[in-house]
Amino acid sequence: MKYLLSSIILISFFLPLKKYQIDLKPNKIQIQQKRDTEKLREKIDSILTSKYEKGKLNGNVLVVHKGNELFKKSYGFADADKNQKLNENFRFNIGSIYKEFPAVAIMQLKEKGALTLHDKLSKYVRDLPNWSDNISIIELLQYSSGLPKVNWGGHFSNGEMVTDQIIFNDLKAIETLEFSPGTDYLYSNYNPILLIKIVEEITQQNFTEYAQENLFNPYSLNSSKISDQFPYKDKTLMAIPFDENYEIDNYKISMPTVLFSSTVQDMYKWFKHLDSFDIISKESVKILSKEAKIGHNIQAPLGRFDWNDDLAIEHLHHGSSGNYECVVRRFKQKDLTIVILTNQKHGNVNEISQEIFELF
């Protein structure tokens, strides 16, 4: 009887384990899903390889679906001499996407009660003409301040090193605005540059330090960087911009306020944390999604951020600077993110992202 009881106990112990092991085997649905995923990767790679072979893509691409890295690959070279191939760790200047960072910093300070969006520019930035009394923070955010475009071309054509001081002197020389603040829209880099100065005045930190402590480190943007100047002093893991003839961009600038660079992984993290409302509240993200007016090529502080009632649908932002060109598209309801960062501009990153999107 004692031996019979021991046998029954042993059988009872091993039976559940055997069943558990059987359940670990992939079923037909899982096998098909794996095959579908592989086919999807092949289709994405086919699109991108074709662009690369035709000389229309030089950069890094990341596609994340439902929290998993579905596709990640580098195409082309990190420098014009073709000495080094790109890999996933290379950073690229993110062009206009950098404007999200001062905008989000402003909303962080608003949430802390350090400012209101109706505060006037002159409250925080001195030594500007009287028009600064009429421009509010919200108008800077929405590019409805009336400030003209920065004369980048004029400065670069002279071969001078463009600095924050030169741009600020240009600002002080502006006598009249293009239009009365809040009545129209004009995309100008003066707006985010002044937002950065407001953040620095309130926090008594330079913006590089503020971004590192409040925007990069807390959200594990470990590879993102604000450089001191271009051409870069430190070229470590920096993708260098060059044209279709493999000539390096030859402008000179020493303005940390605009020289933001990042990797495909960090751009994914930034967009995901934003639409998860980890960095700023949902209300703040909605404010940064609003455009100054309805029209063609009108950008919100976050580029383009579409909502369906209370649901975030798509956050899209395109950026370019010299021969850098990039786009990030985040579809929250589909849990899909497409990141394309390039260092040879072909004006086609939106088109490529759409071709990838249409595969889903």
Domains of the chain in sequence order: 33-357 (3.40.710.10)
Residues near 206 by Cβ (< 8 Å), separated by ≥ 6?
200, 256
Closest CA to 349 of 58, 50, 144, 32: 58
Instruction: Give the mean pLDDT of 329-355.
Output: 98
Angle at 14 between CA 11 and CA 15, to 5 degrees: 80
Of the chain, the percentage scoring pLDDT greater than 90 comes to 89
Residues near 148 by Cβ (< 8 Å), separated by ≥ 6?
174, 177, 178, 186, 188, 190
| Choice among 28-42, 49-63, 299-313 with the minimum mean pLDDT | 28-42
Assess whether the previous peptide bond of 301 is cis (omega < 30° from 0): no
Q: Is the pLDDT of residue 5 over 90?
A: no
- Position 27 scores a pLDDT of 86
Q: Are 249 and 75 in contact (CB under 8 A)?
A: no
Q: Is the pLDDT of residue 1 over 60?
A: no
pLDDT bracket for residue 187 (50, 70, 90): very high
Please list the residues that pair with 254 across neighbouring strands: 163
Q: Please give the helix or strand (H or E) that residue 321 lies within, else none.
A: strand 311-321
Q: Are 174 and 132 in contact (CB under 8 A)?
A: no
Instruction: Give the mean pLDDT of 278-305.
Output: 97
Q: What is the pLDDT of residues 73-112, one digit of tens each?
A: 999 999 999 999 999 999 999 999 999 999 999 999 999 9
Q: What is the pLDDT of residues 296-324, one digit of tens each?
A: 999 999 999 999 999 999 999 999 999 99
Segments in the chain forming alpha helices (H): 2-23, 28-53, 100-111, 137-141, 152-157, 164-172, 190-203, 207-211, 264-275, 282-289, 349-357
Show contacts of 211-216: CB within 8 Å, 24+ apart: 211/101, 211/105, 214/105, 214/108, 215/101, 215/104, 215/105, 215/279
Instruction: Check residue 112 and report its DSSP letter.
Output: T
pLDDT bracket for residue 344 (50, 70, 90): very high
Q: Is the pLDDT of residue 19 over 70?
A: no
Q: Is the pLDDT of residue 13 over 80?
A: no
Please list the residues that pair with 63 across neighbouring strands: 71, 338
Of the chain, the percentage scoring pLDDT greater than 70 comes to 93
Q: Are 279 and 259 in contact (CB under 8 A)?
A: no
Does this model's pTM top 0.85? My answer is yes
As a whole number, the mean pLDDT across the chain is 93
